[in-house]
Amino acid sequence: MEKKNVFVVGCNGRMGKLVCDLIQKSKELTVAYGFDMNTDSESGINVYCHPITSLPCPTDVIIDFSRPDATMEILPLAVDRMVPMVIATTGFTDLQEESIKDYAKLIPIFKASNMSYGVNAVKELLKLAAQLFYDYDIEINEFHHRNKADAPSGTANMFFDTINASRNDAFVSVYGRTEKRTEREIGISSNRGGAFPGEHTVTFAGSNDFIRIQHFAHNPSIFAEGALNAALYIMEQTVPRIYTMDDYFKM
């Protein structure tokens, strides 16, 4: 079986290096080249940096673990070559999110705030918990390594959106609470420190008890593995649109 060529955006970043390492061990994929502000290449692949005006060689799929500005630079190049793309980057502005939706009208894009199977299983649990613990107050807490660029995390926002959609948009999110909570609020808080891959806790607090649903990432490889699975999945899709973990779970 001929291996598929992967273009890794953010290849010299924390997650990009993990993605490249896993691809090198894959029987189905190979790293064709990368894109990063740092063009050093410990693995021997060609690394391009800004500005990049076209995809330099044949590419079957793009995996993006970078920053929003890099994602937005690569997207039109993906459309130009009709290459499907996996976006694992977070922290986009509303305007950037709208642009991604426009690009997804032209190519298949797999987009997820968190590529971990476990996190997305928790998302399914939260849909049920939001219904079962109807009268409980809800708070979301997350803890990540000191170098994480965005806060709150994309996963924390995803958990809020999941709960809110399950309750017909009954809530508003409050980040960095400074006043007494109101009935319709879900508080989101962030902590940063050390090299911790990630922890997310959703608390349903009642008058006499509380229930917590937690996910601990012991090793960031779970996110890289999820991105590779997403790449294999998105290459099989022919309809241009945004695909998510919800689509993957329906396989």
**What is the per-residue pLDDT across 171-204, written as a single tens digit (0 to 9) for each?**
999 998 888 998 899 999 999 999 877 899 999 9
148 is catalytic: yes
215 is catalytic: no
Q: What amino acid is encoded at 24 in this protein?
A: Q
From the candidates 148, 180, 218, 250, give the one annotated as an active-site residue: 148
pLDDT higher at 30 or 39 = 30
Going by their DSSP bridges, the two strands 4-9 and 61-64 should be labelled as parallel
From the candidates 111, 144, 200, 215, give the one annotated as an active-site residue: 144
What is the reported pTM?
Answer: 0.78
Q: Residues for the chain: how many in total?
A: 251
Q: What is the mean pLDDT of residues 82-107?
A: 96
**Which ranges in the chain are annotated with CATH 3.40.50.720?**
4-115+221-249
**Which ranges in the chain are annotated with CATH 3.30.360.10?**
117-217
Its CATH architecture, for the domain 4-115+221-249, is 3-Layer(aba) Sandwich (3.40)
Question: Which is the CATH superfamily of the domain at 117-217?
Answer: Dihydrodipicolinate Reductase; domain 2 (3.30.360.10)
Enter the tokens of residue 249: 């779970």
Q: What is the pLDDT of residues 152-170, one digit of tens each?
A: 998 899 999 999 999 999 9
